[in-house]
């Protein structure tokens, strides 16, 4: 991967972090702010996985494997919240 | 007993040695678990008995469950897997021999902590093996804490072992050993390992939270209004239900491995069995845990969904069982001892499986959940099917391990007594569906006295029968007749190894020496030198003191933690931590000076990860379990936030500008780490050093800011002892602390990488360690991407 792309990812991360803080100060509706911030955080994580960890250049089998814990965790998160009723 | 003999068994990293260590240690823990079970059965043998007090009975129940499940059932399978998986795939050892040894010693260290808990004032844990919170909070004293910390060590051991086995099975297969040719035992171990990899991190999270409540006064399970019982149930059973399959699948793998040799035909429906297990049982095992929570008041819609999932998971087992039955019908069955135990395992599983279907119904579960019907069900599955399968494996492979033949008649008597004893023990419990479990004594109601008496009789028959197994194994080992090279005519590689570099003990066509291979290995310890040396025992032998040193350090550290904040506790913690750091550093130095060298593996069959190097695959597998670990902590935090009505307003506790600055520091360190990797890819060692140093400085700055933040928070009243802040502080300090521990470990690793860089270890063509560390550091970055907004902004 080219250094310029890595620099772009870093720049995006910085902007996303600042955007999260901006959203915190600007949006007063909690659920809206939470949704936007969650999307921003997830996008940063995806950027790091794809570019810094270079998963985008790995074989499909490894990319598939990397999804398995996410799948199980999603089940845990959904059930945890759902069990509150 | 020579010095070299002791040195060998303490420092070995050889897969066969480690397998035997696992095997005999798990038998020892199994013995302790069995004694506890017999004490319980004596207490319950007659109504109104006072053989044990309520407290001792509860302790016996709790530790019987914990020891049998965690220190006996899974590890004994891991013992056989250690010994035979490398042989079945044509490898000389597991992928990471020292990590394999460390897994064993951590397992033993955890077991020692758990057993030590019996001997401290107040005794051991007594809230049941499920350690339901907040009920378990009432079990005061250091004993339960020791047991919990033992569980944390055990889970860490299992996670490391899972990474090792997964990489080994994928990466070390000899040429020609394609996935389709893998023996069934190895296949089922692979499935088991996948389940372990993703289930155990949640257990670690659960027990870390529970231990933190006991040791440092966090309030995860003691706060009112948070529904702590629901949180515990979710975390525990998210691990707990896959654990059923983790225990069961190795036994099933052995049964599937054994059946063809004694039916004279290939296993019927092999592909169907593999698809059913790999694509349905393992994933779905993570989607049924809430059937353990039907009585906790979870919404009816959830009960329905998990009821359907629970019924669905019985379908693949129908496929597996019917395939076994078809193999029997179409084959000519030879009733040798391994086959008898395999058949027994199938029969017991069918009984256990059928009773399990009743429990998938929320309505019936309401009646049965608290009764002995459930005790019968899970023992039929977890003891019957799993242990009968394991015993089948012991008899099946004993000639391969010892070069000698066991006593067949004794084996058959052992089977008859075991099968009889097991059913006399557990079948009456099905009829005790109206008797509550978890009581230490009972009145003489209906047939309760008679049925319990019968169960106790069965327990002694079953226990005494195992003495025959022990006698048969020892007798075979020392006096059994020399076994044929391949007594069962198996086509599998462990009996027919002809891989390149194979040595006498791997080659089943070579007649074993008078003392059997084990005897020969035991006297050949002098060949296990510090460097890679071909040993007449069969495989290259390595000694390393680091695995036992690290495990000992961890044991001392956690023992100290249990006694914290006492001065002795603090002292032990410091000593333990120093030993761990010193040993890890020594591990690195051993590598640096080539004191422990694993020979390069020959080209083999590595699909579907052919293009991924071994260490990188190991790192990805490890990080995938880390995802579940952090996810479990964050999931617990989100649950607590959602369940708590009053929470400090975001921005009122943490300084957002400082947190933002620190986040940007960590984000930038991810970029500098990338630049370090890019530099060495271009062959520039000077730049590599510069960017590694920059990453180190940024990481250290991040930690420095964190420490300053924590100090300020403490001074501002954000502490565990402040009732208004306790829960928020608990969550923050545990999650951020765990992340900080990862950053600190990364900083230490970076020091080591920089030391190697100064010595010119990394080149354009050889820099795998830098690449793998880059993965780790990026992961630490990712975790913070979620920690920062969750704790500072939301």
Q: Do A21 and B660 touch (CB under 8 A)?
A: yes
CATH code (residue B656): 1.20.120.80
B639 plus B508 within the same structural domain: no
Q: Do B778 and A82 touch (CB under 8 A)?
A: no
**Taking all residues of chain A, what is their mean pLDDT, rounded to a whole number?**
95
What's the confidence (pLDDT) of residue B566?
Answer: 84
Q: Do A52 and B781 touch (CB under 8 A)?
A: yes
What's the confidence (pLDDT) of residue B1?
Answer: 57
Kindly state whether residue B656 falls inside one of the protein's structural domains: yes
Kindly state whether residue B182 falls inside one of the protein's structural domains: yes
Last residue of a domain, one of B510, B530, B550: B530
DSSP B684: -
A67 plus A31 within the same structural domain: no
Let me know: does B680 contact B760? Beta carbons within 8 Å.
no
Structure tokens at B735: 């999650």
- B456 pLDDT more than 90: yes
A22 plus A41 within the same structural domain: yes
Our CA-based measurement puts residue A76 at a distance from the nearest CA of chain B, in whole angstroms, of: 7
Q: Do A70 and B779 touch (CB under 8 A)?
A: no
**Number of domain units in chain B:** 2
A49 plus A75 within the same structural domain: no
Measured between beta carbons, the chain A residues lying within 8 angstroms of B781 are 48, 52
Interface pTM, i.e. ipTM: 0.98
What's the confidence (pLDDT) of residue B764?
Answer: 96
Q: Do A83 and B234 touch (CB under 8 A)?
A: yes
- H, E, C per residue of B476-512: HHHHCCECCCCCCCCCCCCCCCCCCCCCHHHCCCCCC
Let me know: does B647 contact A30? Beta carbons within 8 Å.
no
What's the confidence (pLDDT) of residue B598?
Answer: 81
Kind plus residue range of the DSSP H or E element containing B541: strand B540-541
- B520 pLDDT more than 70: no
**Taking all residues of chain B, what is their mean pLDDT, rounded to a whole number?**
92
Which of A17, A24, A45 lies at the smallest CB-CB distance from B786?
A45
Kindly report, residue by residue over B10-31, the tens digit of the pLDDT: 999 999 999 999 999 999 999 9
A47 plus A15 within the same structural domain: yes
A44 plus A17 within the same structural domain: yes
Measured between beta carbons, the chain B residues lying within 8 angstroms of A21 are 656, 660, 793
Our CA-based measurement puts residue A8 at a distance from the nearest CA of chain B, in whole angstroms, of: 10
B753: closest CA among B659, B654, B668, B680? B680
Banded pLDDT at A85 (limits 50, 70, 90): confident
> Which of A3, A80, A82 best tests the B interface by mutation, with the highest count of B CBs <10 A?
A80
Which residues neighbour B38 within 8 Å (Cβ) at sequence distance 6 or greater? B459, B460, B463
Our CA-based measurement puts residue B783 at a distance from the nearest CA of chain A, in whole angstroms, of: 8
Locus of tokens 């608290």: B370
Last residue of a domain, one of B507, B530, B553: B530
B133 plus B245 within the same structural domain: yes
Q: Do A72 and B297 touch (CB under 8 A)?
A: no
Of residues B531 and B546, more confidence is placed in: B546
Let me know: does B147 contact B66? Beta carbons within 8 Å.
yes
Q: Do A80 and B670 touch (CB under 8 A)?
A: no
d(CA B626, CA B622): 6
Which of A33, A70, A77 lies at the smallest CB-CB distance from B627?
A70
Q: Do B667 and A17 touch (CB under 8 A)?
A: yes
Last residue of a domain, one of B495, B510, B530: B530
Kindly state whether residue B676 falls inside one of the protein's structural domains: yes
Q: Do B781 and A48 touch (CB under 8 A)?
A: yes
A47 plus A16 within the same structural domain: yes
B526 plus B633 within the same structural domain: no
B236 plus B94 within the same structural domain: yes
Let me know: does B571 contact B557? Beta carbons within 8 Å.
no
Structural domain boundaries, residue A66: 58-85
Structure tokens at B365: 């579960």
Measured between beta carbons, the chain A residues lying within 8 angstroms of B681 are none
A42 plus A17 within the same structural domain: yes
| b/e sequence B506-534, b meaning 16+ C-beta within 10 Å | bebeeebeebbbbbbbbebbeebebeeee
A38 plus A71 within the same structural domain: no
Instruction: Locate the chain A residue with the closest alpha carbon to B609.
Output: A61
B523 plus B649 within the same structural domain: no
**Number of domain units in chain A:** 2
Banded pLDDT at B497 (limits 50, 70, 90): low
Which of A24, A66, A70 lies at the smallest CB-CB distance from B793?
A24
Kindly report, residue by residue over B276-293, the tens digit of the pLDDT: 999 999 999 999 999 999
Kindly report, residue by residue over B530-544, the tens digit of the pLDDT: 333 444 444 445 799
Burial classification of residue B180, based on how many CB atoms lie within 10 Å of its CB (0-12 exposed, 13-18 middle, 19 or more buried) = exposed
**A13 upstream amide cis, omega within 30 of 0:** no
Kindly report, residue by residue over B701-716, the tens digit of the pLDDT: 999 999 999 999 999 9
d(CA B462, CA B440): 22
CATH code (residue B258): 1.20.210.10
**Three-state DSSP class for B543?**
strand
Let me know: does B720 contact B732? Beta carbons within 8 Å.
no
- β-strand partners of B436: B371
Kind plus residue range of the DSSP H or E element containing B534: strand B533-534
A4 plus A44 within the same structural domain: yes
A49 plus A68 within the same structural domain: no
A68 plus A36 within the same structural domain: no
Kindly state whether residue B69 falls inside one of the protein's structural domains: yes
Q: Do B635 and A9 touch (CB under 8 A)?
A: no
Structural domain boundaries, residue B774: 629-793
A1 plus A42 within the same structural domain: yes
d(CA B21, CA B594): 26
Kindly report, residue by residue over B192-212, the tens digit of the pLDDT: 999 999 999 999 999 999 999
Chains A and B form CB pairs within 8 A to the count of: 151
B184 plus B64 within the same structural domain: yes
Q: Do A83 and B651 touch (CB under 8 A)?
A: no
């Amino acid at each position: 991967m080219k250094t310029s792309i890595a620099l772009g990812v870093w720049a995006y991360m910085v902007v996303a972090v600042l955007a999260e803080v901006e959203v915190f100060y600007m949006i007063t509706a909690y659920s809206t702010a939470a949704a936007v911030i969650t999307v921003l955080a997830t996008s940063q994580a995806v950027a790091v996985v794809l570019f810094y960890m270079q998963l985008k250049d790995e074989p499909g089998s490894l990319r598939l494997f990397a999804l398995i814990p996410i799948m199980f965790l999603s089940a845990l998160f959904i059930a945890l919240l759902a069990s509150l009723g | 007993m020579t010095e070299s003999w002791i040195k060998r068994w303490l420092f070995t990293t050889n897969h066969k040695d480690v397998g035997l260590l696992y095997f005999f240690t798990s038998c020892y823990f199994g013995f302790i678990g069995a004694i506890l079970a017999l004490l319980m059965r004596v207490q319950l043998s007659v109504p109104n008995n006072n053989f044990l007090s309520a407290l001792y009975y509860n302790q016996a129940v709790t530790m019987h469950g914990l020891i049998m499940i965690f220190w006996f059932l899974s590890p004994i399978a891991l013992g056989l897997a250690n010994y035979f998986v490398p042989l079945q795939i044509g490898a000389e050892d597991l992928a990471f021999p020292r990590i394999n040894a460390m897994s064993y010693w951590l397992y033993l260290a955890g077991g020692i902590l758990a057993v030590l808990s019996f001997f401290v004032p107040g005794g051991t844990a007594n809230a049941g093996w499920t350690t339901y919170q907040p009920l378990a909070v009432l079990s005061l004293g250091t004993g339960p804490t020791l047991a919990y910390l033992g569980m944390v060590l055990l889970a860490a051991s299992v996670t490391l072992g899972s990474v090792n086995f997964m990489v080994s099975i994928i990466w070390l297969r000899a040429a020609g050993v394609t996935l389709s040719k893998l023996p069934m035992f190895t296949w089922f171990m692979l499935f088991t390992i996948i389940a372990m990899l993703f289930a155990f991190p949640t257990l670690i999270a659960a027990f870390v939270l529970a231990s933190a409540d006991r040791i440092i006064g966090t309030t995860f399970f003691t706060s009112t209004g948070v529904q702590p019982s629901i949180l515990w149930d979710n975390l525990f059973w998210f691990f707990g239900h896959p654990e059923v399959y983790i225990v069961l699948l190795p036994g099933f793998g052995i049964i599937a491995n054994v059946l063809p040799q004694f039916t004279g035909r290939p296993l019927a429906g092999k592909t169907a069995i593999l698809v059913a297990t790999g694509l349905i049982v393992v994933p779905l095992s993570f989607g049924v845990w809430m059937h353990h929570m039907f009585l906790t008041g979870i919404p009816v819609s959830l009960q329905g969904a998990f009821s359907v999932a629970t019924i669905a998971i019985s379908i693949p087992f129908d496929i597996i069982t019917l395939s076994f039955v078809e193999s029997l019908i179409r084959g000519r069955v030879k009733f040798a001892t391994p086959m008898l135990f395999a058949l027994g395992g199938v029969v017991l599983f069918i009984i256990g499986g059928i009773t399990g279907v009743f429990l998938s119904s929320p309505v019936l579960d309401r009646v049965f959940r608290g009764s002995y019907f459930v005790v019968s069900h899970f023992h039929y599955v977890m003891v019957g099917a799993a242990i009968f399968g394991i015993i089948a494996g012991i008899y099946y492979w004993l000639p391969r391990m010892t070069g000698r033949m066991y006593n067949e008649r004794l084996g058959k008597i052992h089977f008859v007594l075991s099968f009889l004893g097991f059913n006399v023990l557990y079948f009456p419990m099905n009829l005790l569906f109206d008797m509550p479990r978890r009581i230490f004594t009972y009145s003489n109601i209906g047939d309760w006295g008679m049925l319990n008496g019968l169960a106790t009789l069965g327990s002694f028959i079953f226990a005494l029968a195992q003495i025959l197994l022990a006698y048969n194994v020892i007798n075979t080992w020392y006096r059994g007749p020399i076994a044929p090279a391949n007594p069962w005519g198996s086509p599998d590689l462990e009996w027919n190894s002809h891989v390149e570099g194979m040595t006498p003990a791997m080659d089943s066509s070579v007649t074993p020496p008078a003392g059997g291979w084990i005897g020969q290995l035991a006297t050949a310890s002098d060949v296990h030198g510090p460097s890679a040396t071909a040993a007449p025992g069969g495989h290259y032998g390595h000694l390393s003191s680091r695995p036992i040193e690290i495990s000992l350090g961890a044991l001392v550290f956690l023992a100290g933690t249990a006694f914290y904040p006492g001065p002795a506790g603090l002292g032990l913690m410091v000593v333990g931590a120093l030993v761990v750091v010193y040993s890890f550093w020594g591990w690195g130095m051993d590598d640096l000076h080539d004191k422990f060298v694993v020979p390069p593996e020959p080209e083999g069959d590595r699909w579907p990860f052919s293009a991924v190097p071994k260490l990188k695959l190991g790192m990805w597998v490890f990080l995938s379990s880390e995802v579940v670990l952090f996810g479990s902590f964050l999931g617990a935090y989100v649950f607590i936030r959602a369940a708590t009505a009053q929470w400090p307003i975001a921005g009122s506790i943490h300084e957002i500008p400082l947190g933002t600055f620190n986040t940007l520091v960590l984000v930038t360190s991810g970029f500098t780490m990338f630049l370090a990797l890019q530099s060495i890819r271009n062959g520039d060692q000077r730049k590599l050093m510069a960017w590694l140093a920059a990453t180190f400085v940024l990481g250290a700055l991040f930690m420095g800011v964190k420490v300053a933040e924590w100090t300020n928070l403490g001074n501002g009243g954000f502490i565990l002892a402040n009732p208004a802040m306790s829960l928020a502080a608990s969550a923050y300090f545990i999650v951020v602390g765990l992340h900080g521990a990862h950053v600190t470990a990364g900083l230490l690793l970076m020091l080591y990488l920089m030391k190697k860089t100064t010595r010119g270890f990394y080149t354009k063509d050889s820099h795998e360690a830098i690449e793998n560390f880059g993965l780790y550091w990026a992961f630490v970055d990712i975790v913070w991407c979620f920690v920062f907004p969750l704790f500072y902004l939301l």
